Amino acid sequence: MVGTDYGRQCEFLLNNVKRELGFTHFESIIRRLSASSAFAEWSLVVLLVVLGTVLRLPNLGESLWLDEVIYSTNYIFSSLSDLWYYFLHEPSAPLYRTFMFFWVHMFGEHELSVRMPPLVFGLSSIVLTYWIAATYGSRRMALLAAVLLCFSPVHVWYSQEATPYAMTLCFLLATIWAWLQLKATPSHQGWYAVYLSMFLVTVFTHYYAAVFLLSFTLLSLAAGQPLRRRLMVAQGVVLSCLVCALSTKYLLGDYGLAGAPFLRRFTLFEWWMLFFNWFLHGNALWTVTPYRMAAMGVTYLWREPLLLLCQIGFLAIFLRGLGPARDHERWTQTWELGLFLVTLPVVMLVLTQAGYSHLYIERYLVLLLPFFLIVMARGVASFANTRMVIACAIMVLSVGAASYGALLYKDDTWTVYKPNPDWRSASRYLTTESGGANKADIVVVVPSDDLKYYLHRVAPGAPPKVINYDPRTFLRVLSGDGVRAFHLVKNEYAAGGFDAVLQGLKHDQRFLLANTHAFKGVEVYTFRFQ
């Protein structure tokens, strides 16, 4: 009792002293400032989400194209057994496709519905980029990086496209955020569980993300012993699950690294153009088809001196973002960002040198975009002169805003990727023109599952028949269907040998070109038998 009374007296005297010296009021001010700072932080996050949403609304309701139909609808894979077949026989990682299988069963296959998950993943990645960037520099630097990501044509594109890339990017950033929290609190069980689960989701959304196992392993070696061991165990679990999945595909299905025909070699020139053309302005200010650019090589840059000059200028800012370390903390940050940014390209260079010539397309490396922009923002913030910081910030933001504007303006041009043909409108027209007494087949030169998908959606009954053009069987198929007309459909963004086929039919005396109709990216030529 005596000890308790003495303690109370001491506490009473201490509170009186603090009151007399104004400490109580000071603590109240600190608490209010802390609460105000937290409110400002979350307000900023909300504003970033609003900005990102507004910038992603245009073109969100466009027709789905082939990859979106395959990945995000039940046109091909409509049952659980189909999903199992997809896992065994398709090279893509299965998680996004599985997620979308259940999503469309609940919310339908409307364009906005199937694009809502990528939009949410894209907006979440903006917030995660801001939080991650704040650990590598000031809040202003983090804000600049996040705003650049909001305007990035590449990020806008894949936040609108119903494919796995926004999901992979979001969960990779969540993995890195959990890893950063583990560095601060190594014994935290919750963040460890988040790190492991997010890493698993990332790898099984896109297999290329597995290369980050190497980055995290190298970073784990620099961690303290307890955290190092736990991180190694988590990465071992991820690697074991990946090996089991690929072994199952190899033994029961088919799997290989040969790659698809649209993939190409990854070279130093491709790396340069990935960073300082695709990431920098989304191929929107200086627009070139990547396959043509790859064939031309460095010659393309000599023909575009203004682009080369711009790239060199931004290279200087980029190198400042990864510049010489002035202290241990900055060296650590540079080392971490550098690993996240270059490990995947280096691995792809090694595989290319090993003989894999079908390996690379830009969207497979979209995972690196936030780190590129964080480094650029760090480079802007690294100048000692405030005016120089402001000038560089205005410059990079101007390029970002101009690139976004160019993306909208060039909506029928290959910028980030091929634009979407308006299959929805074309299918309505074809269904109307091929129905009733106007019965006609639809002839395509290249495979058009996206066209068939929309024909099934818009046709009130049985959709018109779609056949692939083959000069040996073409007439026999039409005669067997009893039609007196057919529609030859051109996908302007993947024409194949269409022009040669069209010219051959125009000069064939058995057919008469009766009508033509055009939609965005689609041309329909109606032929009748003479």
CA distance 510 to 259: 42
Residue 320 phi, psi dihedral angles, 5° rounding: -65, -35
More confident site: 16 or 368: 368
Sign for the pseudo-dihedral over CA of 115, 118, 121, 127: negative
Q: What is the mean pLDDT of the chain?
A: 87
Residue 224 lies inside a defined structural domain of this protein: no
Residue 379 lies inside a defined structural domain of this protein: no
Residue 209 lies inside a defined structural domain of this protein: no
Residue 115 lies inside a defined structural domain of this protein: no
More confident site: 20 or 128: 128
**How much is the pLDDT for 163?**
95
**Domain harbouring 472, CATH code:** 3.40.190
Q: Kindly report, residue by residue over 68-92, the tens digit of the pLDDT.
A: 999 999 888 878 888 888 888 888 8
Residue 517 phi, psi dihedral angles, 5° rounding: -145, 140
More confident site: 203 or 26: 203
Residue 495 lies inside a defined structural domain of this protein: yes
User: Is the pLDDT assigned to residue 189 strictly greater than 50?
Assistant: yes
Place of tokens 């980030």: 416
Write the CA distances from 110 to 240, 261, 423, integer angstroms: 38, 30, 14
User: Is the pLDDT assigned to residue 377 strictly greater than 90?
Assistant: yes
Residue 443 lies inside a defined structural domain of this protein: yes
Residue 192 makes CB contacts below 8 A (sequence gap 6+) with 178, 182, 230, 234
Instruction: Give the H or E element holding residue 486.
Output: strand 485-491
Q: Kindly report, residue by residue over 449-470, the tens digit of the pLDDT.
A: 889 999 888 877 778 888 888 8
* Ordered DSSP codes for 267-318: -HHHHHHIIIIIIHHTT-SS---HHHHHHHTHHHHHH-HHHHHHHHHHHHHH
Residue 12 makes CB contacts below 8 A (sequence gap 6+) with none
**How much is the pLDDT for 464?**
83
User: Is the pLDDT assigned to residue 195 strictly greater than 80?
Assistant: yes
Could you give the 3-state DSSP secondary structure of residue 124? Answer: helix
Residue 526 β-bridge partners: 487, 515
Residue 167 lies inside a defined structural domain of this protein: no
The total number of structural domains that make up the chain = 1
Confidence of residue 484 (pLDDT cuts 50, 70, 90): confident
Tell me the residue range of the domain where 525 lies: 423-529
Residue 203 lies inside a defined structural domain of this protein: no
